Structure 1
């Protein structure tokens, strides 16, 4: 009989996904095997299949539980501009994790279940960003002449561009400059108050 993970199902799944997250970020999703995950957990491969039917299903759970939560946690219920800098520092410090987002997205073209998960994650991300921007527009931190949803899409595009630059190895000094310039456009309220708004953001870091 295959060795069974000794925890209850919920705890066992959490243990497996945490181990898979470590292996995926170290080796990359495509190079990781179910044997690699099993070895990281300390169980047989057969035990993994009693909880997950495939490596793709593990990635699906890892993305939902780890990557999306880490993104939305930066912006939920925040009405200051600090989360923008916190997000930048997180991405740069833990750049290995962003590969999983791109690999997860690439699987959408041939996996309907993962496509559904990705759509759900995307919608939650845009909703979180939109609400964050609305709160900061009320506070006077972000321009109001562009609606919050549009700015949310722009901010998400800047985030994706930052991730791509890190993946392909652009110099981090140039990435930082690109981020600052992009954020300055998003924060810009009007031509007269522009410099005051930017100073308020950048003087904190």
Structure 2
């Protein structure tokens, strides 16, 4: 009977995900194989199957790790601030700077895909986007509720809070898309300052 070492297993999983991320970023999802990942960490392919059943499962785990990393960065930035205005600004700035840092990974994943594979990947991207939006909605909800409790923001019922959350996230995702398309990150700070000011002015008591 083989006795597994949980700590060692976690280290190996991290090695697999790091190697896979680097390979996906360099060659795209289609061209990378389980053999490539196994070779990158110096193990046989059979060893990988103990942790992940397929390349797609490894990719899902890599994406999950990227989302967790992004959310941790956002949470840490927000927790350092003391007011709703500063927390919103921290959320916006961290969201965009992290998106910039992860751009090279996500922009190369679809390299070499045919039409069918692109269709499947676009469906996967929509699922990823929904997961990110759910987590970000929870963060915005917490900022708004704390702002109301601290009497920094005016009182809002649940329907209005949900509407504000939707508008905030739509605004930040729209700005992110425009900045990435223009490949001009020089205006991030001024844009986020303007967005934060407009929002807070509209929500103050």
TM-score normalised to the size of structure 1? 0.63
RMSD: 4.0
1:107 and 2:132 aligned: no
Corresponding residue for residue 129 of structure 1 = 140
1:95 pairs with one of 84, 100, 107: 100
Residue 61 (structure 1) aligns with: 61
Name the counterpart of 1:163.
Answer: 176
Q: Secondary structure at the match of 2:51?
A: coil
Matched, 1:30 2:29: yes
Q: In structure 1, how many angstroms separate the alpha carbons of the residues matched to 2:15 and 2:142?
A: 33
- Matched with 1:14 is 14
* TM-score, length-scaled by structure 2: 0.63
Report whether the alignment pairs 1:138 with 2:143.
no
Q: Do 2:147 and 2:153's aligned partners in 1 also have CA atoms closer than 8 Å? A: yes
Q: 1:156 to 1:37 in 2, by over 3 A?
A: farther
Query: In the TM superposition, what whole-angstrom CA distance separates every residue of 1:68-123 from its partner, at most 9, and x where no partner exists?
Result: 3432552488453246336525633662414656869x7362x5xx8766644432
d(CA) in 1 for partners of 2:40, 2:175 = 31
Structure 1: which 5+ residue stretches go unaligned?
Answer: 1-6, 195-205
- Residue 200 of structure 1 aligns with which residue? none
Deviation digits for residues 22-47 of structure 1 (CA, Å, limit 9, x no counterpart)? 444x4374366135543443334443
Structure 2 residues without counterparts, runs of 5 or longer: 1-6, 111-119
Tell me if the contact between 1:108 and 1:115 (Cα under 8 Å) persists in the aligned partners: yes
Q: Cα distance, 1:141 vs. partner?
A: 4.1
Deviation at 1:171, TM superposition (A): 1.9
3-state SS of the aligned residue for 1:178?
A: helix
Q: 1: CA distance between counterparts of 2:190 and 2:37?
A: 38
Partner of 2:192: 179
> How far did residue 135 of structure 1 move?
0.9
- For the residue of structure 2 that corresponds to 1:150, the secondary structure is helix
